[in-house]
Chain A
Amino acid sequence: MAYAVQQLINGVTLGMIYGLIAVGYTMVYGIIGMINFAHGDIFMIGAFLSLIALLGLASLGITAVPIALALTLIFAAGLAALYGWTVERVAYRPLRGSFRLAPLISAIGMSIVLQNFVQVSQGARVKPLDTMIPGGFQIMETDGFAVRLSWMQIAIAVTTLFILAVFTWLVTRTPLGRRMRACEQDLRMASLLGIDTGLTISVTFVIGAALAAVAGLMFLMYYGVIDFFIGFIAGVKAFTAAVLGGIGSLPGAVLGGLLIGLIEVFWSAYFSVEYKDVAAFAILIVALIFLPTGILGRAEVEKV
């Protein structure tokens, strides 16, 4: 029992990270209908930017944890947003109206570029980082197994919920959010009504990348090691989360993220750690076959 509760806590923590990445996938898919393969690598770049910022702040003598983390968050999210903007500008925007496979191939190319750029510039070896928020407290104990909730997990949960609250407010209550939703419903109609669709799409990429960078910082803090390859696996899992929750649906992305996190953690705990990625990928295939619209998604109607 206690063991299961512990897994539940770990799964929710991991799920929040996946959920944050999945939001980026689902937003881009909703607005221009393409899978942004490079999004997982933006997450990886966010993690690297966070690492560099933390090391830089430490060498400047800023070691107070809350200040350092807040500055790192702003730095990583800001620069990752610049990456998201540039990727859209360079690799996707010139392809509007090109043939069907072009954006997909360009996206996978961009993903390879970002991955190998980081490998070349930062090296292929894993980067370890000491725990910055140690400790936690014990919430229950049965059969000699203590369930622990670490401060780190609380910090991750609180930050994710805060960021998602801000993001929800942005999408539902602001003029910018209204423009984004209009573009999502019908891009051409939105442009006829005077909405700058190019700008709106750019903003979508910027927000998605910033959220991915937040997830990157959390991943770095939670696991303490990163390398240039983390974006590939995390990207596919977050995409699975987006599909599971219903692609195009923002609450669905978070829900899907939580589900994937829980499935992965419980699978590792009760079946095998080696096959945890296989489990997540198999869910993607199963979900696409039996539940292609996802839990909260709408059925897609193809118009000619």
Chain B
Amino acid sequence: MITGRMTGALRDAGLSALIALGLFAPLIGLLTENGEHGLGLRGRPFAVAVVVVLVFLGRLIMLSRAPRTVAARAEGPGLAMRRAGRALAPALLVFALLLPLGGSRYYVDLATLVLTYIMLGWGLNVVVGLAGLLDLGYVAFYAVGAYSYALLAEAFGLGFWTCLPLAGIMAAFAGILLGFPVLRLRGDYLAIVTLAFGEIIRIVLINWVSLTHGPSGITGIPRPTLFGLAFSMDGGAGTFAGFFDIEPETIQRVTFLYYVILALALVTNWFTLRLRRTPLGRAWEALREDETACRSLGINVTNTKLTAFAIGAMFGGFAGAFFATRQAFISPESFTFIESATVLAIVVLGGLGSQLGVALAAIVMVGGLELLRSFLSFLAENLGSDLFAGIANELPLYRMLVFGLALVVVMVLRPRGMVSTRVPTVTLGPA
């Protein structure tokens, strides 16, 4: 009996390896290279062999594990995780508040980046996680926010704090403009329309040179001020350093930017948590679960979706304005589909609708990967190893591959999220 299962598993794994050979032999095994006489081929049999063996072993391991029931799959991380989450969230918050005290510029910069993605994730979470609308062009609203601020600052000399709400409003407006006609349609059409919209925005940004300066981007975007105190290096009377009578240093500005994005992200979180308890928030969640039932209960489906879409876009716009002020330079390069995909991967991996899950996913996917890269290059420098240096250089290339795989694997194994699960706020009967 057991040997029967073993042979079956071996045969199955062998078949998988054979298919893998067919899939990967040409694309991995034969590299197209530019030689002297145009393109040529270079063989890489070793790489193919490694991949095929990996597939064989992977399949064998998959088959040897006992099959889980459907119920166990649907259940997700469950109660223990939620209880742990209650303690984890305040701990993370305290850690985030104290982080700059460490005084390391590298970590503060990295944390700022992670927080930007957390904020984007929370913004997209309103759209995808709560209302169940798949938005594949979220980066468009991020771009609208960033360019709104950059252009307003350039044309009218407005400061960051004036432009922040304006950037949010502009992004929300873009969301309404796009959503109004499209949201009446079936859900999956929305996905492809938002995908197309993201591309349209990027192409317009590249080609409308008279307004956006085209591919060269906008430089010299003003930095934010603390109640009118600038973080400039001259240390004059109107600056932060001059007012408090201390030496001006870059770390002060970096730390200030960190607290700005932390505050923005926390506002996003608080706003979302409050919204979820309003009738509107309940309607979103109901919409996610069953649209037809919502309609029959008299919920205005289009308006409810539109609100979610606009609010999500607004948070994207805020994050965009922050991105512009932090970088002091923006160009269409920063707003590609890869960004949308990254944010979507964070939301999906974190668990659609779960605030804490999104934060954890962003920390792992953005922060963890960057730490891994810097650790590998640190090893490469100290050990003088070419292997580690190579991996560190190649790592960004594999980033999107990992994100894409994560989307598929999460959907297949735990559709409601890897890290945490957001169950509907109210349910009928014993949950």
Interface residues of A (CB under 8 A from B): 34-35, 37, 45, 48-49, 51-53, 55-56, 59, 79, 82-83, 86, 90-91, 94-95, 98-106, 108-113, 115-123, 125, 127-130, 232-233, 236, 239-240, 243, 272, 274-275, 277-278, 281-282, 284-285, 288-289, 292, 300, 302, 304
Contacts and interface: CB of A to CB of B under 8 A. Distances in A.
A134 to B, nearest CB: 15
B398 A120 contact: yes
Contact of A51 (B28, B39, B185, B200): B39
A205 B399 CA distance: 28
A2 B406 CA distance: 52
A212 to B, nearest CB: 15
A116 B193 contact: no
A105 B27 contact: no
Contacts of B341: 108, 112
Contact of B136 (A48, A49, A108, A129): A108
B409 to A, nearest CB: 8
Interface string B339-378: 0010011001000100000000000000000000000000
A282 B178 CA distance: 11
B167 to A, nearest CB: 23
B412 A91 contact: yes
Contact of B187 (A100, A110, A121, A275): A100
Contacts of A103: 411
A116 B400 contact: yes
B93 interface: no
B182 A123 contact: no
Given A55-B40, A239-B192, A101 B406 contact: no
- Size class of the B contact interface (CB-based, 8 Å): 35 or more
Given A51-B32, A302-B292, A277 B199 contact: yes
A110 to B, nearest CB: 6
B interface: dominant SS? helix
A274 B412 contact: no
18 contacts: A35-B188, A48-B27, A52-B26, A55-B39, A79-B23, A83-B23, A90-B412, A106-B412, A108-B344, A116-B398, A121-B27, A123-B32, A128-B39, A232-B337, A243-B189, A284-B193, A285-B196, A288-B189
A101 B132 contact: yes
A129 B345 CA distance: 36
A117 B408 CA distance: 14
A130 B34 CA distance: 13
Contacts of B38: 128-130
Given A59-B41, A274-B207, 20 more contacts: A48-B32, A53-B26, A56-B30, A100-B132, A101-B128, A109-B404, A110-B404, A112-B403, A119-B397, A120-B398, A121-B31, A122-B27, A125-B34, A236-B192, A236-B196, A277-B200, A285-B196, A288-B181, A289-B185, A304-B292
Contacts of A300: 186
B340 to A, nearest CB: 9
Contacts of A118: 27
A99 B129 CA distance: 12
Nearest to B342: A112
Contact of B31 (A122, A128, A233, A289): A122
Given A56-B41, A83-B23, A95 B412 contact: yes
A47 B293 CA distance: 45
B10 interface: no
Given A121-B28, A122-B27, A128-B39, A282 B200 contact: yes
A37 to B, nearest CB: 8
A205 to B, nearest CB: 14
B204 interface: yes
B294 interface: no
Given A49-B26, A236-B192, A288-B189, A105 B19 contact: no
Given A94-B412, A106-B411, A108-B136, A292 B404 contact: no
